[in-house]
Amino acid sequence: MKRLFSLLLTSLLAVGNLSAQTDTKSTTLVAPANGKDFLFNYYQQTFNALQKSVEGLSETQLNFKPAADRWSVRQCLEHIVLTEKIIFDFAKKGMEAPANPERKKDLKMQDEDVFKGITDRSFKAKAPESIVLTGKYLNADAALTDLKINRKAVFKYIDSVSLDDLRNHISDSPIGLIDAYQEFVFLAGHTSRHTAQIEEVKADVNFPK
Tens of pLDDT, residues 53-82: 999 999 999 999 999 999 999 999 999 999
CA atoms within 13 A on the CB side of 150: 22
Going from N- to C-terminal start, the domains of the chain cover 2-14+32-202
For residues 154 and 43, the answer to whether their CB atoms sit within 8 Å is: yes
pLDDT band at 21 (very low <50, low <70, confident <90, very high): very low
Residue 36 confidence (pLDDT) above 70: yes
The second-level CATH assignment, the architecture, of 2-14+32-202 is: Up-down Bundle (1.20)
The pLDDT of 98-114, averaged and rounded, is 91
Tens of pLDDT, residues 123-167: 565 665 556 788 899 999 999 999 999 999 999 999 999 999 999
Would you call 56 exposed, middle or buried from its count of C-beta atoms within 10 A (0-12, 13-18, 19+)? exposed
Give me the pLDDT at residue 112, please.
85
pLDDT band at 25 (very low <50, low <70, confident <90, very high): very low
